[in-house]
Chains A and B, each alone.
Chain A
Amino acid sequence: MKCLELADVSYRYEGSTEYVLKNISAAFDSGKVYTVVGESGAGKSTLLSLISGLDVCKEGDVYYDGKNLRELDRDDYRAKCVGVIFQGYNLLINSTAVYNITLSMNISESEIMGRRAKKEAAFALLNKVGIDRETADRKILYLSGGEQQRVGIARALSHNPDVIIADEPTGNLDAETESEVLKILTRLAHEDGKCVIIVTHSENVTAIADEIIGIHAGNLIAGEKYRENSAFHGENGHERTKTIRENEQ
């Protein structure tokens, strides 16, 4: 079932004439794992920002469940419909891991009622991604990068969203944990019917994908074609992004 759709989406930074994404059209179904691949600076993270409702495309539209995102309350959309796993974690560093999860539940007006029940659910969620109770009660500030990433994943799952968006979710994890996280994400898609979209450079992650979406210089390329064309690899995309941002200033 179609869950998310991009229709001729283009994006450029404010004041810039150069497009980061150009006429992207794609559809994402529930129950599938998608990986978005491409060189650094190709526009992958921008695409995730548009899908997650953190930004608005300049041209074209993003549809969630058939509804145009422009017409939806984007705060509500972020709080209830999508779960985002950020590359830089973006957690409340002075709060405990478990508080980060329960706060997310509160913001999304979780169906779990009561403070204690929410806390127990948060512990269970954290345990699922390999964080024990003792670690869960520590402030984010005192957790390792890998632990923080797991907390980020748990937070994205905390409000049981239809769409899970992950930006390099296993970048800071060891092979064993990476495997566990990928299992979780796969299970969420295949068993719980979630739409999982992962931006990654990792071959291991790409390997679990039901569909691969390649982005090169702001254009969408079919995943298999992207893989086959070695010319797309190794290009310094971040330099390109940097140039665009400099131009806009």
Chain B
Amino acid sequence: MYILTNAMKNLLRNKGRNILIAAVTLVIIVSTVVTLTIGNASSKIIEDTRLRIGSKVNIDVDLAERGRLEKTGGMPEVGIDDFFSYAQSDYLSKSIFSVQLYLYSSTTFAVGDDSKGQSEWESWDGSSKSKAATIMLIGSSDPDILSDFFTGGARGIMPGGRMFGGLNECIISYDLAELNGISVGDMIVTTSIFVEPEQTFELSVVGVYSDKTEAWPGPAYEDANFFLFNRRNEVITSLETVMSRGFETDQGMEMHAEYYLKNPDNISKFEAEVRAKGLHPDYSVSINQEELDEITAPLSGMAGITSTFMFIILILGGIVLILLSFIAVRERKYEVGVLRAMGMEKAKVAAGILAEAIIISVICLFIGLGIGSAAAQPIADSILSGQVEIAAEETKAKSEDLKFLVMNGKTQFIAGLHGYTPISEIQVELDAKTIAQISMIALALAALSGVIGIAVITKYEPLKILRERN
């Protein structure tokens, strides 16, 4: 106990020297707090993003590989059964399917159809269907993924209605309902086109939704009034409802499948499995690594900067601390000699020096945690804004490169980050893990400082010290 008391008294007796050591220690700890806080927050967000986005599997036609092999002709098709087959994998956490097909109805007009039913569509058997409106039916395997319907989304079920649930239930847009005078509880009767055999859908409207999404995929569609693609004409129902009709082929249907891995690291195992199930070699199986990298680029850049800074501070600070400790103990050689002459064991003298170093480190730790945590957020914001600008420039350059995403033999253009944008904000705060890491570093600094002292005092015998002084 007296060793601790003596250590505390010594700290007060040698203020100048100890303040200098404390200042260096504080600089190291504050820097460490800032860098570790930012680094850990970045890592956590990157990992969360990796699991959220990086777990999504892309099955694309490998155009580069086809080009290299000089392959021509149509793309190899993946059948609906194949999509369902791939979903039967232990590596997946979930699979989401949606199927899209077009309907006509002699009793229901489509939004934007100025002809009011004068359009003619040719059915699969070649017969023309006149005076028919065209409606797009979307069957989804999971209503929860219809993100537009989430709270705050661009679409919302209006009062009096609900989301579809059972077989043959659907929801329609307010515009479509208004145009045709349809209310919740009414039935709409439609017939499929482009698919065989022709199927009739008698769907019960259980909800009407407001829709603030863009009605048209692009200005060209709007200018041509190509109302087939007007989103207000979407009739949304369950996948089960669509698939219950028992289509013999998947011609005329667009299947969209999303596979989510339990762990993105299992991508190669999942690929091996789907290859074994017959996926054509022209298809590539990948996770969104490129997108993930682009999304997390600012954070990765910031984490890199902070790690480098912390490394430099720890090395330089450590060297300065070693030198200061060495000088401090040499200055205290006489004191050590006196204590040893009085009979204090080397281990106790060493414990005293170590206790002084620990006390300084603990005080600096508390002050450093306060200063560091206060400084971490503005520093993170500052570094991140710079990284976001760099990432934005890189993304802009890449966004012009369009990718072909092939689904069921049909192609659609998908540009840029599939709706994701690089992370531009970060909320940094001290968590238990960071505090534990910083405490370990503070203890390591104390140990480093103490070990120097111990090494020096072990070298000298008391008589030699006192004799030199006298």
Mark A residues whose CB is within 8 Å of B.
49, 54-55, 75-80, 84, 86-88, 90-92, 94-95, 99, 103-104, 106-108, 155
Interface residue? B341 (CB, 8 A) = yes
Distance of A26 from chain B, by nearest CB (Å): 21
- 22 A-B residue contacts at CB 8 Å? A49-B463, A75-B344, A75-B346, A77-B343, A78-B341, A86-B341, A87-B470, A88-B469, A90-B337, A90-B338, A91-B338, A92-B335, A92-B338, A92-B339, A95-B9, A99-B9, A103-B2, A103-B6, A106-B6, A107-B2, A107-B339, A107-B348
Q: How far is the CA of A235 from the CA of B256 in the complex (A)?
A: 111
Option from B13, B341, B342 in Cβ contact (under 8 Å) with A103: B342
Within 8 A of A (CB), among B334-384: 335, 337-346, 348
* A88 in contact with B466 (CB, 8 Å): yes
Residues A55 and B463 in contact, CB atoms below 8 Å apart: yes
Q: How many residues of B contact A (CB 8 A)?
A: 22
Considering only residues 430-470 of chain B, those with a C-beta below 8 Å from chain A are 462-463, 466, 469-470
The reply to whether the CB of B72 lies closer than 8 angstroms to some CB of chain A is no
In contact, B341 and A90 (Cβ under 8 angstroms): yes
Give the A-binding residues of B (Cβ under 8 A): 2, 6, 9, 13-14, 335, 337-346, 348, 462-463, 466, 469-470
Are A80 and B343 in contact, CB atoms less than 8 angstroms apart?
Answer: yes
What residue of chain A has the Cβ atom nearest to residue B466's Cβ? A90
A54-B462, A90-B337 are known contacts. Are A107 and B342 too (CB-CB below 8 A)?
yes
Q: Identify the 6 closest CB pairs spanning chains A and B, nearest first.
A: A79-B343, A78-B343, A106-B2, A54-B463, A88-B470, A94-B13
Contacts of A155 on B, CB cut-off 8 Å? 342
The answer on a CB contact under 8 Å between A84 and B341 is: yes
Task: For the complex formed, measure the closest distance between the CB of A6 and the CB atoms of chain B, giving whole angstroms.
Answer: 18
Q: Who on chain B is nearest to A155 by CB? A: B342
Question: Which residues on the B side are within 8 Å of A103 (C-beta)?
Answer: 2, 6, 342
Question: CB-CB < 8 A to B463: which residues of A?
Answer: 49, 54-55
Chain B residues, CB < 8 A from A49 = 463
Q: B337's closest neighbor in chain A, by CB? A: A90
Q: Which residues of chain A are near B469, meaning CB under 8 Å? A: 88
Of all chain A residues, the one with the shortest Cβ separation from B10 is A94
- Residues of B with C-beta under 8 A to A86: 341, 466
